[in-house]
């Protein structure tokens, strides 16, 4: 009898303990938003909307305009996605429909492994090999928006290619075979069977990659230049939210400066949170349920 | 040209185009890998494991401080992140099931897994570094474990759900209480999967640089004190690579090589465990 009693107690204890483990994630998310918001209040209340519309970022004059960082984030992410999407789809089509079986596994696996390489390595490659190339091609410093976008796109490429391939691989063979039996060419099968079937998964994965690209820091910090200016010349140095944070966080010397940086962090968190949430709730839900 | 020829032509053009784009992508990826391996092998020396950091130009300069710091940071983060993640995952799979709370926590963890790591660094700066008054190893540990928890939680959840319900029922039928069933039956059945999750979680966290920049900061000397700033391989790579000194840059490549090989090895081990289980 005593034995059973103690096991009932232990049972309740274990349930509570594991419940706590699950709650910690929620507590973390809520406190991240609360803390970021708390530290942002000073800058947001003092600068108001000007924080978002003003381009000038001059800490020594206590002027903090986040426009160049926010626009920089959007442009670099957009360019990176524009470069990455066609290549990732190309790799995915190559791996699912074109490559002989003997190549599928080695190439597929090496792409997955490349997705695991830390972003700081991509940044380092960008700084030592890609920036000099850009300097030779376009003149100037080589450091800037275009270099950052290319490095960023190379960094998210393995992830995007791998998940796009996985999404395409979910197409049942019997559907493809039926189309071939009707006389379809490979491209007919890809565009009329594979892509429609895997559409939600492909789009969801791309938005997921987009969410990663927006928040990626190290790959771009090396090669962007951290210059708070919006320029039509995409080879010119620029900045983005993560680049500004990485470069200036340890230098902030006034409380308004700090608060402005926390506001940037909050903006970044909101952007990435909503992008990923859209991918998860809107596109990937079906895929997960379906599997 | 009839319709069939046209379709064949279009198909061929598209296949060639996608092969070319695949080639371009793979070219870039292997360029990076090649650069990393060539520079790494050229710069790696036994000395690097013996000496601590030194000012540029010194011969007796190494990475001992960063290697030890990295091990401490990742090790401690694993000690915090893994138990919490496993407990949370256990709750989701064994207690919450498909309930609304369970799915909500799953979605939030998925989102947390892709949250910008630099923002987590900023958060930890506010809650650990500011109250302490200075950068510290412990702040880096907290940042890394925050990144690790959702990863471990989700893989544990997925892996435990794979354990067949009949096994659980058999244990219940023998009169085992729920915690016993979980500890002796469910965990045992999911051991390989959970282990893989842990290995991949460690690999993911080991490559993080951004959250360490303003938490554990950096230190060019050997130190094991978690209350003080602590070196890490990743931040050392960043600092050395962006320095103007050729010898520091070369040490940076060596560090990049070591880190990548460590992370690739973890990933390969994780894969082998999955393969072995599938084969068994």
The pLDDT of A30-48, averaged and rounded, is 93
With respect to residue A13, please indicate whether it lies within any of the assigned structural domains: no
With bands split at pLDDT 50, 70 and 90, how would you rate the model's confidence at B278? low
Nearest residue to B240 (alpha-carbon basis) of B259, B223, B224, B226: B259
Contact status, residue B248 vs residue B56, Cβ threshold 8 Å: yes
What is the number of domains present in chain A? 1
What ipTM, to 2 d.p.? 0.90
A2-6, B43-47, B213-217: least confident range: A2-6
Once rounded to an integer, what is the mean pLDDT over residues A16-43?
A: 94
Q: Which of B37, B114, B233 to mutate to test the interface with A (most CBs of A within 10 A)?
A: B114
- What is the predicted pLDDT for the residue at B220? 83
Average pLDDT, chain A: 89
Select the more confidently predicted residue: B212 or A291: B212
Model confidence at B280, in pLDDT bands (50, 70, 90)? Answer: low
Residue A20 lies in a domain: no
Is A218 close to B209, i.e. CB distance below 8 A?
yes
CA-CA distance, B258 to B265, in Å (whole number)? 10
* Residue in A33, A41, A120 to test binding to B, most B beta-carbons within 10 Å: A120
d(CA A46, CA A49): 9
Q: Does B126 touch chain A (CB under 8 A)?
A: yes
- The reply to whether A27 falls in a domain is no
- Do residues A170 and A200 touch, judged by C-beta distance below 8 A? no
What are the residue boundaries of the structural domains of chain B, listed by start? 63-279
The answer to whether B60 touches B74, Cβ cutoff 8 Å, is no
* CATH number of the domain to which A281 belongs: 1.10.3720.10
Q: Which fold has domain B63-279?
A: MetI-like fold (1.10.3720)
Name the E strands within chain A.
57-58, 63-64
Q: Does B185 touch chain A (CB under 8 A)?
A: no
pLDDT value, residue A291: 34
Taking CA atoms, B201 is separated from A60, A215, B92, B270, in Å, by 41, 19, 18, 10
Q: What percent of chain A has pLDDT over 90?
A: 54
Residue A231 lies in a domain: yes
pLDDT digits (tens, 9 = 90+) for A143-202: 889 999 999 999 999 999 999 999 999 899 999 999 999 988 889 999 899 999 988 888
A216 to chain B: closest CA residue: B116
Q: Which of A135, A114, A90 is nearest to A225 (CA)?
A: A135
Distance CA A85, CA A202 (A): 10
Residues of A in contact with B22 (CB under 8 A): 87, 90-91, 93-95, 98
Task: Mark which residues 67-96 of B lie under 8 Å from A by CB.
Answer: 83-92, 94-96
Tell me, yes or no, whether A6 lies in a domain: no
CA distance A118 to chain B (A): 5
Indicate the SS3 state at residue A196: helix
Reported confidence tier of residue A63, pLDDT bands at 50, 70, 90: confident
Instruction: Report the alpha-carbon distance of residue A110 to residue A20 in Å, rounded.
Output: 38
Asked if the structure places residue A44 within a domain, the reply is no
Lowest mean pLDDT among B83-87, B188-192, B257-261: B188-192
What does the alpha-carbon distance between residue A195 and residue A198 come to, in Å, rounded to a whole number?
5
pLDDT digits (tens, 9 = 90+) for A104-114: 888 888 888 88
User: What mean pLDDT comes out for the span B76-103?
Assistant: 93
As a whole-number percent, the residues of chain B with pLDDT over 90 amount to: 63
Q: What confidence score (pLDDT) does residue B221 get?
A: 83
* Binary contact (B91, A94; C-beta < 8 A): no
- Domain range holding A123? 51-290
């Amino acid at each position: 009898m005593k034995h059973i009693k103690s096991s009932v107690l232990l049972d309740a204890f274990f349930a509570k303990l594991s419940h706590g483990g699950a709650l910690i994630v929620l507590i973390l998310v809520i406190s991240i938003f609360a803390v970021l918001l708390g530290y942002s209040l000073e800058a947001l209340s003092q600068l108001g909307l000007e924080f978002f519309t003003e381009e000038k970022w001059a800490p020594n004059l206590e002027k903090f305009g986040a426009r160049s960082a926010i626009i920089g984030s959007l442009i670099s992410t957009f360019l990176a996605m524009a470069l990455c999407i066609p290549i990732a789809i190309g790799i995915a089509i190559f791996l699912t429909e074109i490559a002989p079986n003997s190549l599928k596994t080695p190439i597929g696996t090496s792409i997955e492994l490349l997705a695991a390489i830390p972003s700081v390595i991509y940044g380092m490659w960008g700084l030592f090999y890609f920036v000099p190339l850009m300097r030779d091609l376009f003149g100037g410093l080589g450091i800037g928006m275009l270099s950052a976008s290319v490095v960023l796109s190379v960094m998210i490429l393995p992830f995007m290619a791998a998940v796009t391939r996985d999404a395409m691989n979910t197409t049942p063979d019997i559907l493809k075979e039926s189309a071939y039996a009707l006389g379809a060419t490979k491209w007919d099968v890809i565009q009329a069977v594979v892509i429609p079937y895997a559409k939600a998964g492909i789009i969801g994965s791309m938005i997921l990659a987009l969410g990663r690209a927006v928040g990626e820091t190290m790959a771009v910090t090396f090669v962007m230049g951290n210059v708070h200016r919006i320029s039509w010349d995409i080879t010119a140095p620029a900045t983005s939210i993560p680049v500004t944070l990485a470069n200036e966080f340890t230098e902030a010397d006034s409380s308004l400066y700090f608060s402005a940086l926390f506001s940037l962090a909050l903006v970044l968190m909101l952007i990435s949170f909503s992008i990923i949430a859209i991918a998860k709730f809107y596109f990937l839900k079906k895929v997960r349920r379906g599997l | 040209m009839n319709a069939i020829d046209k379709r064949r032509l279009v198909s061929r053009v598209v296949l060639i185009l996608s092969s070319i784009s695949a080639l371009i992508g793979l070219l870039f990826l292997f360029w990076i890998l090649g650069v990393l391996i060539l520079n790494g092998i050229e710069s790696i020396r036994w000395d690097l494991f013996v000496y601590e950091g030194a000012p540029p130009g010194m011969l007796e300069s190494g990475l001992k401080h960063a290697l030890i710091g990295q091990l401490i940071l990742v090790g401690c983060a694993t000690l915090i992140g893994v138990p919490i993640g496993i407990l949370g995952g256990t709750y989701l799979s064994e207690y919450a099931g498909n309930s609304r709370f369970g799915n909500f926590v799953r979605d939030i963890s998925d989102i947390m897994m892709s949250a910008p790591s630099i923002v987590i660094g900023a958060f930890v700066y506010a809650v650990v570094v500011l109250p302490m008054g200075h950068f510290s190893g412990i702040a880096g540990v907290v940042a890394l474990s925050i990144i690790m928890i959702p990863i471990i939680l989700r893989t544990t959840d997925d892996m435990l759900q794979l354990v067949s319900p009949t096994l659980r029922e058999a244990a219940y039928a023998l009169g085992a209480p729920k915690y016993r069933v979980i500890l002796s039956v469910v965990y045992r059945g999911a051991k390989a999967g959970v282990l893989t999750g842990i290995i991949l979680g460690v690999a993911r966290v080991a490559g993080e640089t951004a959250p360490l920049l303003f938490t554990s900061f950096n230190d060019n000397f050997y130190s094991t004190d978690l209350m003080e700033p602590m070196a890490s391989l990743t931040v050392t790579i960043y600092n050395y690579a962006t320095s103007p000194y050729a010898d520091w840059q070369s040490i940076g490549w060596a560090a990049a090589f070591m880190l990548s090989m460590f992370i690739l090895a973890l990933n390969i081990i994780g894969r082998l465990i999955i393969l072995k289980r599938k084969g068994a």
